[in-house]
Amino acid sequence: MVKICCIGAGYVGGPTMAVIAFKCPAIEVAVVDISFARITAWNSDQLPIYEPGLEDIVKQCRGKNLFFSTEVEKHVSEADIIFVSVNTPTKTRGLGAGKAADLTYWESAARMIADVSKNDKIVVEKSTVPVKTAEAIEKILTHNSNGIKYQILSNPEFLAEGTAIQDLFNPDRILIGGRETPGGQKAIQALKEVYAHWVPEDRIICTNLWSAELSKLAANAFLAQRISSVNAMSALCEATGADVTQVSHAVGKDTRVGSKFLNASVGFGGSCFQKDILSLVYICECNGLKEVANYWKQVIQVNDYQKNRFVNRVVSSMFNTVSGKKIAILGFAFKKDTGDTRETPAIDVCKGLLGDNANLSIYDPQVTEDQIRKDLSMKKFDWDNPIHLQPMSPTVMKQLNVVWDAYAATKGAHGLCLLTEWDEFKTLDFKKIYDNMQKPAFVFDGRNIVDEQKLREIGFIVYSIGKPL
Ligand code: NAD
Ligand code: UGA
């Protein structure tokens, strides 16, 4: 029986390993983490992450060939294949702060593997890492090897949150990079055999290590670039009377462009797009490629511009002041079908409105009050460094109210901001909401999900991204 161990039981490690266990009953999969709380949750009825379809799979495999444990060293030493899926956040201090990927967690995992291994291992980079990381990992492992042989593979993950299980069941591609030596090729084959249990062979791409590492950063940069492109267009649409949904539909119909990922929004969020582009920018700079670095930097700058533009629109529409006004925030997660708030645009929008003295009433179906308060107390990039948590100022505490219902959030409000495209927001009774709001009642749709015509007929003043006012 092949034994797999995955270090890091997060948004990637948990779902990915659950699907491997589900699809490969003859493989024993252990997911380990230093976080006791996370492992306890994985072993309970309340999983640590919300992801449609995940609970069902975990329940079917847990205790059979899928195990969650804090006994990191034991499972690592027993495994044949070790996936490393630890976090790789943006550095907050020192060389490259604000751009470079922080590989502290990765390095400590690699050193631990070297310490406890007693037989040859395949070590798989699952985390998103800077190109050439495998070389560093190889050095750490081989210089501490005690005769044990390691093969390093790069097998980046392309799942998106909210659709993780669907993406893992039916991936566009699986990418495996390895050394072009007989040992490297043998390791690639071993990992390929795991995925071949359910992924058609023509969707498994094998490359050299550096191509695999860089392809992951490139894929996220290309995806984010599409969003910044359409968001930049949305500003021009508002200035000219064009409608961004019509423009993106027309542009996306060109099969060379394609229609996916062209939805204008309040800005992209999530733990990876910004972090990975910043990492790419840093790598370009380190390689003396200033122009290339500046090109990709612009994707982030447009995203920041879009979030600011949204806040400015809210304040300027409401007679240039939101001071003391109640504003309902519907949706806090960075996208629908997840409770994840890492780098959610809602943080910047809420901070902007709080800065202008608004009173916020926030509702998200999957995000807890505790999480929202934490997010609004943190500095940029600090979400992966909980030690930097600032206590919330008493004034901001008072300005913030978190509720468990969209109707409660909007009751008595002057304005309503839609920041996450949750399905339940599409079917709200807007007449009822209007009747209970202050007048004039404003709707700022950051996701273009409402029927603005209908809302205008009810009496709302509506602002939708990239649409005529
Ligand atoms: P996460 O923070 O949810 O999970 C990482 C886990 O690793 C944490 O639970 C942490 O406690 C654990 N960990 C850290 N150091 C450890 C160690 N030395 N030993 C054991 N456990 C340790 O992160 P995530 O969202 O799962 O992302 C992991 C990696 O995957 C990142 O590099 C990210 O860029 C990449 N990625 C994420 C997504 C996504 O949708 N979240 C998608 C594709 C790729
Ligand atoms: C993204 C990629 O889609 C995954 O392929 C990748 O594996 C992952 O990053 C990662 O490396 O972490 P994720 O961030 O989970 O996945 O979610 P996306 O669906 O990509 O959405 C990212 C952000 O862009 C969200 O805030 C979303 O609302 C926004 N978005 C997306 C738009 O504003 N417009 C769009 O057309 C699409």
**pLDDT of 158-174, one tens digit each?**
999 999 999 999 999 99
- Tell how far the Cα of 153 is from the centroid of ligand 1, in angstroms: 17
Q: Whose CA is nearest to atom 21 of ligand 1?
A: 33
User: By the 8 A CB rule, do 267 and 313 touch?
Assistant: no
Distance CA 244, CA 289 (A): 33
Q: For 197-232, how does the pLDDT look when each residue is reduced to its tens digit (9 = 90+)?
A: 999 999 999 999 999 999 999 999 999 999 999 999
Q: What is the pLDDT of residue 392?
A: 73
Q: What is the extent of the structural domain holding 182? A: 3-199
Average pLDDT over residues 353-377: 95
- State the chain's mean pLDDT as an integer: 96
What is the number of the ligand closest to the CA of 84?
A: 1
Helices (H), 62-170: 72-78, 104-116, 133-142, 164-169
Do 193 and 251 share a domain, yes or no?
no
Instruction: Locate 186 and state its tokens.
Output: 């043998």
Question: How many other C-beta atoms can be found within 10 angstroms of the C-beta atom of residue 424?
Answer: 11
Residue 419 has pLDDT above 90, yes or no: yes
- The 3-state DSSP class for residue 118 equals coil
Determine if the peptide bond prior to 156 is cis (ω within 30°): no
Do 298 and 176 share a domain, yes or no?
no
- Of 392, 394, 399, the closest CA to residue 375 belongs to 392
Quick one: pLDDT band at residue 145, thresholds 50, 70, 90? confident
Residue 181 has pLDDT above 90, yes or no: yes
Q: What is the pLDDT of residue 383?
A: 65
Residue 405 has pLDDT above 60, yes or no: yes
Mutate to test the pocket of ligand 2, among 259, 265, 464 (most ligand atoms within 8 A of CB): 265
What's the number of domains the chain is made of?
A: 2
Do 288 and 428 share a domain, yes or no?
yes
Whether residue 343 has its Cβ less than 6 Å from ligand 1: no
- Asked whether residue 16 is domain-assigned, the answer is yes
Quick one: pLDDT band at residue 138, thresholds 50, 70, 90? very high
- Tell how far the Cα of 406 is from the centroid of ligand 1, in angstroms: 32
Distance CA 405, CA 400 (A): 15
Establish whether 286 is a catalytic residue: no
Quick one: pLDDT band at residue 398, thresholds 50, 70, 90? confident
Distance CA 466, CA 232 (A): 9
- Burial class of residue 349, CB neighbours in 10 A (0-12, 13-18, 19+): buried
User: By the 8 A CB rule, do 452 and 365 touch?
Assistant: no
Residue 403 has pLDDT above 70, yes or no: yes
Whether residue 155 has its Cβ less than 6 Å from ligand 1: no
Task: Please report the DSSP string for 28-57 in residue order.
Answer: EEEEE-S-HHHHHHHTSSS-SS--TTHHHH
- Asked whether residue 119 is domain-assigned, the answer is yes
Q: What is the pLDDT of residue 394?
A: 76
Q: What is the pLDDT of residue 94?
A: 95
- Tell how far the Cα of 80 is from the centroid of ligand 2, in angstroms: 32
CA distances from 105 to 9, 85, 88, 153 (A): 13, 10, 7, 18
Residue 356 has pLDDT above 70, yes or no: yes
Q: What is the pLDDT of residue 397?
A: 79
Residue entry with tokens 């007679």: 319
Do 251 and 151 share a domain, yes or no?
no
- Tell how far the Cα of 53 is from the centroid of ligand 2, in angstroms: 19
Do 191 and 249 share a domain, yes or no?
no
| Domain boundary residue, one of 144, 174, 199 | 199
Quick one: pLDDT band at residue 310, thresholds 50, 70, 90? very high
Residue 179 has pLDDT above 90, yes or no: yes
- Of 225, 266, 316, 236, the closest CA to residue 465 belongs to 266
Q: Is 459 annotated as a binding residue?
A: no
CATH of the domain at 418: 3.40.50.720
Half-sphere exposure of 230 (CA within 13 A, CB side): 31
Residue 202 backbone dihedrals phi, psi, to 5 degrees: -70, -5
Distance CA 202, CA 288 (A): 37
Q: Is 272 annotated as a binding residue?
A: yes
Q: Is 261 annotated as a binding residue?
A: no
- Of 38, 31, 21, 26, the closest CA to residue 126 belongs to 31
Q: Which of 61, 237, 272, 284 is catalytic?
A: 272
Q: What is the pLDDT of residue 390?
A: 65
Instruction: Locate 272 and state its tokens.
Output: 């990876």
CA 456 to chain centre: 34
Q: What is the pLDDT of residue 389?
A: 57
245-251-255 Cα angle (round to 5): 130
Do 156 and 262 share a domain, yes or no?
no
Instruction: Locate 335 and state its tokens.
Output: 């996208």
Average pLDDT over residues 70-92: 97
Average pLDDT over residues 113-137: 96
Q: For 239-296, how does the pLDDT look when each residue is reduced to its tens digit (9 = 90+)?
A: 999 999 999 999 999 999 999 999 999 999 999 999 999 999 999 999 999 999 999 9
Q: Is 324 annotated as a binding residue?
A: no
Q: What is the pLDDT of residue 1?
A: 75
Do 39 and 182 share a domain, yes or no?
yes
Do 50 and 108 share a domain, yes or no?
yes
Task: Give the whole-number percent of the chain exceeding pLDDT 70.
Answer: 98
Distance CA 465, CA 309 (A): 10
Q: Phi-psi bin for 360: left (phi > 0), alpha (psi -120 to 50), beta?
A: beta
Q: What is the pLDDT of residue 146?
A: 83
- The 3-state DSSP class for residue 76 equals helix
Mutate to test the pocket of ligand 2, among 268, 342, 364 (most ligand atoms within 8 A of CB): 268
Do 263 and 375 share a domain, yes or no?
yes
